[in-house]
Amino acid sequence: MPDIQTIIFFAILIVSVVAFIREWFPIEVTSLLVLAALLLSGLIDKNQAIDGFSNKAVITIGAMFVLSHAFTKTGFIRVFTVWLENNGRGRNWAVTTLFLLSVSIFSAFINNTATVAILIPVATELSQRLKISVSKIMMPLSFAAIVGGTCTVIGTSTNLIVNDIATEAGFNIGVFELSKLGIILVVVTLGYILLAQRWILPSRVPVSGLTKKYHMGTYLTEVKLTEESPLLGQNFIDMNLGAKYELTVLEIIRGGNHITTNLRNIVFKSDDILLVQCSVDKLQQFRSEQKVLLLTDVKMNDHELANTENILVEAMVSPNSRLAGVSLMEIDFRRRYGLFVLAVRHYREIVKQKIGHIKLKQFDTLLIFGSRTRMAALNTDPNFIMLDELDCTLHKIKYWWLAVSIIPIVVGLAAFNIMSIMEASLLGAIVVMATGIVPAPEAYKSINWSVIFLIAALIPLGDAMQTIHLSERIGNFIIAGSSQFGDIGLIAILFFVTMLMTSFLSHTATAIIMTPLAIQSAGILHLDPMPFIMTIMFAASLSFMTPNGYQTNTMVFTPGGYRYMDFMKAGIPLHIILGIIGVILIPIIWPL
């Protein structure tokens, strides 16, 4: 019969997993609530509760965010990737392979979220040059970044967490130890992608027309009816707006009144404001044929509208944006940036509010109108990821050569055991801040604090597992499983269970839960823990089957025009392939 502490622990664990999956709160808030519950229930003490914030892995991850930012500021990634594309000699498969190979290489050493953010516009341009749908390149971009991160210990925050837990247990993992298997997984993934582009990945976004440049689905925007509009005196059904423009009217604002029911039969009147969902190309057609005014027509002056330098660009709210949770009106976007938001699209969610009142979320896509100069300035704002190519040159910032070389130096110091990973990365972060490459305020903004708080708050979960002796309690199940399926079977179970968990739960949370169990499993069976540690390290990083399983998947979801099932169709086969390879090779590379 389980004791009260065990019941409380599993209750907290189950509720937290559901909260992570259903996104009841931001992930860092959920993790802090878990921490509070563990503390209040007595499963951890006050010292254990704050241990995560001084954890070596947390400090290393924070420092690597700063180093990644210094590296990406130079524009080196984009310039190098475009150079590789230009050397593909016009063959689609060669160009795609070189592009994705460069993605994997960069992701092995810097934050893969930053890599994908920089290369989304490059991928957009690449799809146009190769005359293929952007849907054929965005998901491979994310997959290549994910698998590239499995090549080194510093490739992902997950690797660093597992490495820290392993180090505390007395097992040292070299910076390039993972490369023995990681490089094989990269090669297999690139081969799979070339086949998937032809047979599995959809062509969600047409190659021609306006959508060739603006790769989005439906946006939410507002239009105003003029006295010349043919819509006056008609209704939605009479004008057949749904079929003709693929347009949905969500609300009619008339004289301050918000009409939200029976919209299909409401007779339109002059000065009505319609809240509509529509794609950009159809919206332009609707505007022209039905003589309606868009927000830009209503709220921008004649000089701004007539300016030939004005362009239309998509921008995504970045994963660590400080604007998440506030509305465009609250941040006074128009005055702050000198640009105009024409429309907003939420990630996998329909919004039914006026544009200015919508609370921005991470990965929202904004359709922005304004001058090229202002847009270029927005391109440097860490709150946004520009989805259109604006600049592809090497930015020779102060000490740019140091910014480019700092990560190889850090890796070298750690690889040759001159310093630990934490010491080398922390020293590197101090150097780029002291030299002014990344000023202190900018360094603070470059750190994804959601990840930091998530990891720091969940590390005590391992202490709580020790409090209830969970590892020892599962010993009998492990021995039984090993006797029935063998040691290799146990590796397979751990690999696929971890990979499934990380597809729906945070990958760092998965690593924190599974790594101690894996090490304990090896101890019970009197086996070398290293293959078990490697099993968790690889499996927790591989997340392909859901758009919300990994941040890079979420980032490409909207630009690629994907549906949820697209990730299932393309990701599940890759999960199975890499899982089988991992289960076969891990015991060979790291013998049991």
Residue 330 lies in a domain: yes
Calculate what percentage of the chain has a pLDDT beyond 90: 12
DSSP element (H, E) containing 225: strand 219-225
Q: What are phi and psi of 102, to 5 degrees?
A: -65, -35
DSSP element (H, E) containing 369: strand 365-371
- pLDDT of the residue at 2: 60
On whether the CB atoms of residues 34 and 464 are closer than 8 A, the answer is no
Lowest mean pLDDT segment, chosen from 92-96, 104-108, 134-138, 192-196: 92-96
- C-alpha angle 506/507/513, rounded to 5°? 90
Residue 472 lies in a domain: no
DSSP element (H, E) containing 273: strand 273-278
How is residue 481 written in tokens? Answer: 């499983």
Residue 354 has pLDDT above 80, yes or no: no
Q: What percentage of the chain's residues is helix, strand, coil (to nearest 5)?
A: 60, 10, 30
On whether the CB atoms of residues 295 and 222 are closer than 8 A, the answer is yes
On whether the CB atoms of residues 138 and 559 are closer than 8 A, the answer is yes
Cross-strand pairs, 219: 278
Q: Give the mean model confidence (pLDDT) for residues 305-324.
A: 71
Which of 83, 77, 105, 106 minimizes the C-alpha distance to 95? 83
Q: Per residue in 377-416, pLDDT tens?
A: 787 787 888 776 544 444 555 667 777 788 888 888 887 8
Q: What is the CATH number of the domain that holds 280?
A: 3.30.70.1450
Rounded Cα distance, 324 and 26, in Å: 10
Residue 20 lies in a domain: no
Residue 319 lies in a domain: yes
Lowest mean pLDDT segment, chosen from 41-45, 241-245, 278-282: 278-282
Residue 303 lies in a domain: yes
The winner for highest mean pLDDT among 272-281, 353-362, 363-372, 432-441 is: 432-441
Rounded Cα distance, 331 and 308, in Å: 27
Q: Give the mean model confidence (pLDDT) for residues 13-30.
A: 79
Q: Per residue in 118-159, pLDDT tens?
A: 778 778 777 777 778 888 888 999 999 999 999 999 888 889
Task: For 392-404, give one letter per residue: b (16+ CB within 10 A) or e.
Answer: eeeeebebbebbb
Cross-strand pairs, 367: 314, 343
| Nearby residues of 483 by Cβ (< 8 Å), 6 or more positions away | none
- Alpha-helical (H) ranges within 439-474 are 440-446, 449-458, 460-467, 470-473
Residue 17 has pLDDT above 50, yes or no: yes
Q: Per residue in 456-512, pLDDT tens?
A: 888 887 778 777 776 666 656 666 666 676 778 888 888 988 888 888 777 888 888
- The one-letter amino acid code at 298 reads V
Residue 374 lies in a domain: yes
Evaluated on CA atoms 143, 147, 153, 158, the torsion sign reads: positive
Rounded Cα distance, 592 and 585, in Å: 11
- The one-letter amino acid code at 577 reads I
Residue 298 lies in a domain: yes
pLDDT bin (cut points 50, 70, 90) of residue 584 is very high
Q: Per residue in 212-232, pLDDT tens?
A: 333 345 566 778 888 888 888
Strands 273-278 and 292-294: unpaired
pLDDT bin (cut points 50, 70, 90) of residue 576 is very high
> Higher confidence at residue 48 or residue 401?
48
- pLDDT of the residue at 92: 72
Which of 164, 285, 383 minimizes the C-alpha distance to 276? 285
Q: Where in the sequence is the domain holding 264, given as residue range(s)? A: 211-386
> Higher confidence at residue 589 or residue 553?
589
Q: Give the mean model confidence (pLDDT) for residues 422-451.
A: 85
Residue 333 has pLDDT above 80, yes or no: yes
Q: What predicted TM-score, i.e. pTM, was given to this entire model?
A: 0.72
Structural domains counted in the chain: 1
Rounded Cα distance, 116 and 144, in Å: 10
Mean pLDDT estimate for the chain: 79
Residue 271 lies in a domain: yes
